[in-house]
Structure 1
């Protein structure tokens, strides 16, 4: 039953909303902004208290882009402001609007979330708890201090630069194609078993990149998902690193908070 629900949620996600995200204040990554540092063989932001919040379950709602965006904001809030509050995904489900329609559980782009946070901030999950269905927006005045997004940084399609930025800036928003078998992943290093990503380049899932490692000579990324703790490695998963598997390096960013 849970696997079926996850599959439904995966199918309804569409990552290109009507919002013209190129108009949102953003910048490309400046390679000179992060001087070269010898990086460790293993690193995870889960080892830094407060930066990565516990795994949640998005349910039948196509809200993975909201979970990943909120988690990226939470990481920046924790690292730069020492504020470890859990922020509200439900507020985004209820209130995100692209000018014509409420996005709700229909999917969108991280810029939709960042733009909302730019003007309103994000409410705490305590004030605005998750129920996975679109309801009437009630966000007025609930924004947590420090959650206003000034802009975001778009990273290049270079996994070593992404690793460098991850280490120095914090958890990163990523989007990629989730191929056959992804919804049933039960642990270990996920790979494109059927070669599907070589012919399908549509990015239809988003998550939070939090670290990396190597196992038996196989390099991997560590990623936080929103499918519940029974999925993957207690809700997290490893994905092959170094070959841009399933377009994982194609759309990587992090927000900059006021």
Structure 2
């Protein structure tokens, strides 16, 4: 199918035929991954409400400068060919949790608080297992976000260090101090849901108190968790793997292209004609090798109907679109 006609079809019509043709087109262009339908909406609508909103390189915005941190490495540590943090720390169920950001471009907040949750569990030797609230971060870190139109992930980590973040689970979970306020949307696989395009994303008002439906035993001030000063992980494959093995999952930034919304399985590489859409935040929980190609195992925040149960594989040191230069984290204060 002619790419210009395909683009016109995707942008201006809602026909399922157009979406099916795009999936067929993607699968015909490459063999490293499989495309399929993930959302009950057109590409134009998906792009509007599922853009990552990460503003790391946008508009020269003044962000916090972080130090690069490397493990002192005598090269005697043998790195396994495959590693999955879900197996290494199976008592930390937060590692495999897949969020749904809904109609709010909040991947920056969900990825960061997910890594914070994982690391608190790991560094406490499973004795403390909170779910750090992306909602508290979105609502109260004024310098971090641009309403529901994205945010600055690095500032999220600095906010954790300086102000602390309380606990809180997914939409209407009423677990922790502050639950997420944006409902899930755009599910497929026969799930009844609502279109993201029918919703308005909400950042909610910042208030230094727990939700009315939160457990009565919680108070905002006593529920705050803090982290040490955040840092970039030295931008090499070995250092990132050592960081994950020693301290837990890490937060990574990467570029999102139009075909990524249709990812189902395999090693994702943008097809030649894919349109750049935005930057995204996600969590790296491990690595592996497929067809002799090394990959990072990553958790997205577009619900479990997207991708491989909400996860995806990104090639290590991908030539045109590397993510190794923007990997960061912090050690929790316990």
TM bucket (normalised to shorter chain) is: 0.7 to 0.9
Native 8 Å contact 2:288 2:296 kept in 1: yes
Report how far residue 167 of structure 1 moved. Answer: 1.6
Report how far residue 165 of structure 1 moved. Answer: 1.6
Aligned to 1:156: 234
Report how far residue 6 of structure 1 moved. Answer: 4.3
Distance 1:149 1:203 in 2: 28
Distance 2:271 2:284 in 1: 21
Aligned to 1:88: 133
Q: How does 1:1-258 map to 2 (within 5 A)?
A: 1-2=39-40, 4=42, 6-11=46-51, 13-16=53-56, 18=61, 20-22=63-65, 26-32=66-72, 36-47=76-87, 48-49=89-90, 50=92, 51-81=94-124, 82=126, 83-98=128-143, 103-125=146-168, 126=175, 127-132=177-182, 133-140=202-209, 142=220, 147-194=225-272, 204-243=279-318, 246-258=321-333
Which has the higher Rg, Structure 1 or Structure 2?
A: 2
Report how far residue 43 of structure 1 moved. Answer: 0.5
Give the alignment's TM-score, normalised by structure 2. 0.67
Give the secondary structure class of the aligned counterpart of 1:243.
coil
Shift of the 108–212 alpha-carbon distance from structure 1 to 2, 3 Å rule, reads same
Native 8 Å contact 1:96 1:104 kept in 2: no
Distance 2:140 2:224 in 1: 19
Shift of the 220–12 alpha-carbon distance from structure 1 to 2, 3 Å rule, reads closer
Shift of the 210–115 alpha-carbon distance from structure 1 to 2, 3 Å rule, reads same
Report how far residue 19 of structure 1 moved. Answer: 5.2
Q: Over residues 110-137 of structure 1, what are the superposed CA-to-partner deviations in whole Å (9 max), with x where a residue is unaligned? A: 2322232223322111221112221111
Question: What stretches of structure 1 move > 6 A for 4+ residues in a row?
Answer: none
Give the alignment's TM-score, normalised by structure 1. 0.85
Query: What are the ranges of 5 or more consecutive residues in structure 2 without an aligned counterpart?
Result: 1-38, 169-174, 183-201, 210-218
Shift of the 37–144 alpha-carbon distance from structure 1 to 2, 3 Å rule, reads farther
Query: What are the ranges of 5 or more consecutive residues in structure 1 without an aligned counterpart?
Result: none
Q: Over residues 6-56 of structure 1, what are the superposed CA-to-partner deviations in whole Å (9 max), with x where a residue is unaligned? A: 42234361413745312xxx4321341686410111111111221504111
Report how far residue 3 of structure 1 moved. Answer: 5.1
Distance 1:90 1:244 in 2: 35
Distance 1:73 1:9 in 2: 25
| Count of residues paired in the alignment | 250
Distance 1:144 1:65 in 2: 25
Distance 1:159 1:203 in 2: 24
Give the secondary structure class of the aligned counterpart of 2:228.
strand
Q: Over residues 193-216 of structure 1, what are the superposed CA-to-partner deviations in whole Å (9 max), with x where a residue is unaligned? A: 22769xx7x971110011011122
Q: Over residues 42-74 of structure 1, what are the superposed CA-to-partner deviations in whole Å (9 max), with x where a residue is unaligned? A: 111111221504111001211111011111111
Native 8 Å contact 1:42 1:211 kept in 2: yes
